[in-house]
Amino acid sequence: MQKLFLLSLLIFLVWACDNSSHAYKTHKHLVTDTAMVVSAHPYASKIGVKIMKQGGNAVDALVATNFALAVVYPRAGNLGGGGFMIIRTPEGEATTLDFRETAPAKAHKNLYLDKQGQVVKGLSRNGGLAVGVPGTVAGLYTAWQKYGRIKDWAVLLKPAIDLAEQGFPVSEAEAHRLNKYKNDFLKWNPDNKTFIKDRWLAGDYLVQPNLAKTLKIIAQKGPKGFYEGPVAQAIVKKVVKSGGIINMDDLKQYQTKFRKPIEVSYKNYKVISMPPPSSGGIALGQLLKIVARYPLKKWGFHSYKTSHLMVEAEKRVYADRAKYLGDSDFYPVPVDTLLSEAYLIKRMSDFSMKKATPSTDIFPGQFQFHKESFETTHISIVDSDRMAVSCTTTLNSNYGSKVIVDGYGFFLNNEMDDFSAKPGVPNQFGLIGAEANAIAPHKRMLSSMTPTIVTKDHEVFMVLGTPGGSTIITSVFQSILNVIDFDMNMYDAVQAKRFHHQFLPDYIMFEKNTFSHKVADQLKQAGHQLKQIKYIGIVKAILVKDGQLEGAGDTRNKDDDVEGY
């Protein structure tokens, strides 16, 4: 009996050791002097740091980290998606690069409506028709061409190629998702052997020979290897086979755009963020400018007054987002007005410290909120010359449209769902839109991605961003306030509990233990509805203070990792 017990114990110990041996070692908090990368995966963060140690700057590191994420973080890291980045040079010049997906030429306003004018469920979220023309490969190349220091582009892809070819042990979170979406993968890619198997376990090796082949083509030919030739043909073939409308010209004509950042002063700081087609910079700027008029620090962190004010500001800002924001190349977004003091004072004129303003009084509209899974990912980098890059990129949902390009091994986005399919009908994040964000050929869909850099006295102070769909903006907003108003270090600011209101649905989403019982009761008495959700945002941030870099990954994602030296 005793022997049997000892044998069982031995088997258990061997299993336990084996099972933990693939657990990644991650840093959620690190302080260094020279350079730093924070990303959603330790392999990717390490690659970014290695590139900087080899003489690369923050942009080189960003490119290599992003390609690595496309391999080790397939649910959001991507070749088949798009994103935005803010770059601030050591000389203090800031610019933004828009590599957001575009609507195909054959897209039109009623693309997702049936003959009765109703939105056909799922059409903008799964399969070929959900796919926007990808921007990531062009975006990374454009950034490197203008700002990179490493001469050989292929050097930046080599680590990702090695990971794709040799494979790597998947994390628990990735294994869980690969299992969760297996039926969707099967629906669109019945013959795929790379991502589909009976059951994924943490530590199983994901080997991606097809993706390695694609990366090698991009390494050799640059974006032409993706937007023209066999890879482009394979994209078009698979999209069309899956019900979509992207053609070869859509891919060939894809263009990235440098855009002037949204810059807003907040106390002694300058906040630099993304202009349309992201709503992030405008919404973040509006929120900061509204709360700047109130004594948050005196009121205290997560006090009734502070939380109520932030929520009431968020309702108004998200209502503005729904009505006025879209791709400014197609629609005259009133950027200056939305950010003007006079407008924001007027916007808050019906704000009462005692009671919640119902969203129906701010902007009419009723609907059901269908929350689906979504994934985006963010990278924050600072290099030894204090060049800073803040980059958020996405496939939209986990694994995007779930459509994999046959023979080339990468997922395509479902970013078309970020358009307003019909005025007032919510997308997967519960966000509504109007004419400003209606579908049109070549137009970019409105985003919430908010890559941000904060400066103080003309020096980089904070670099941050997060995934989280509609909650991206409020997660960045809270992380900034936590440092500037509530004196937290970067790590505490990132781990602090979060809440979120987006105008509709009319309730405060909050993480467990955000509010004390007393504050929760006060909020309810004021007329707010509260709804607990699992987590809000997964912020990745770097604080530059007293000559040091303090990096924070978010404990909400086990794989978040800070690396630096």
Active-site residue set: 376
State the amino acid at position 70 in one-letter form.
Answer: A
Q: Which is nearer to ligand GLY, 372 or 406 (CB)?
A: 372
Nearer of residues 401 and 522 to ligand GLY, judged by Cβ: 401
Closer CB to ligand GLY, 396 or 474, in the complex: 396
What Rg, from alpha-carbon coordinates, does the chain have? Answer: 23
x-marked contacts with ligand GLY along 447-486 as a string, rule CB under 6 A: xxx-------------------x-----------------
Query: According to the binding rule CB under 6 A, does residue 396 interact with ligand GLY?
Result: yes
Smallest separation (angstroms) from ligand GLY to the CB of 527 = 29
For residue 548, what is the enclosing H or E element? strand 548-552
Report the candidate in 14, 95, 30 with the shortest Cα–Cα distance to residue 494. 30
| Nearer to ligand GLY among residue 270 and residue 444 (C-beta) | 444
DSSP letter for 508, please: E
By the 8 A CB rule, do 343 and 333 touch?
Answer: no
The distance of closest approach from Cβ of residue 32 to ligand GLY in the complex, given in angstroms and rounded to an integer, is 31
- What DSSP assignment string belongs to 374-432? -EEEEEEEE-TT--EEEEEEEEESTTTTS-B-TTT--BBP-GGGGSBSSTT---TTS--
* Least gap, CB of 466 to ligand GLY (angstroms): 11
Joined tokens for residue 418 = 């970020």
Q: Does 377 bind ligand GLY (CB under 6 A)?
A: no
- Cα 523 from Cα 305, distance rounded (Å): 9
Can you list the alpha helix ranges (DSSP code H) found in 426-539? 472-484, 490-495, 517-525
For ligand GLY, the nearest residue by Cβ is 447
Q: Show the binding pattern over residues 409-428: x = contacts ligand GLY (CB under 6 A), - = does not.
A: ------x--x----------
Whether the CB-CB separation of 410 and 403 falls below 8 Å is answered with no
Which range touches ligand GLY (CB under 6 A), out of 224-232, 315-323, 441-449, 499-507?
A: 441-449
Identify which range of 305-313, 360-368, 444-452, 544-552 contacts ligand GLY by CB under 6 A.
444-452
Report the site for ligand GLY in 76-135 (rule: CB under 6 A). Answer: none
- Please state, in angstroms and rounded to a whole number, the distance separating the CA atoms of residues 225 and 220: 8
CB nearer to ligand GLY: give 57 or 448: 448
* Binding piece for ligand GLY, criterion CB under 6 A, among 12-20, 116-124, 359-367, 446-454: 446-454
Segment near ligand GLY (CB under 6 A); pick from 4-12, 215-223, 306-314, 442-450: 442-450
Which of these, 524, 439, 462, lies nearest to 113 by C-alpha position?
439
Q: Which residues bind ligand GLY (CB under 6 A)?
A: 376, 394, 396, 415, 418, 447-449, 469
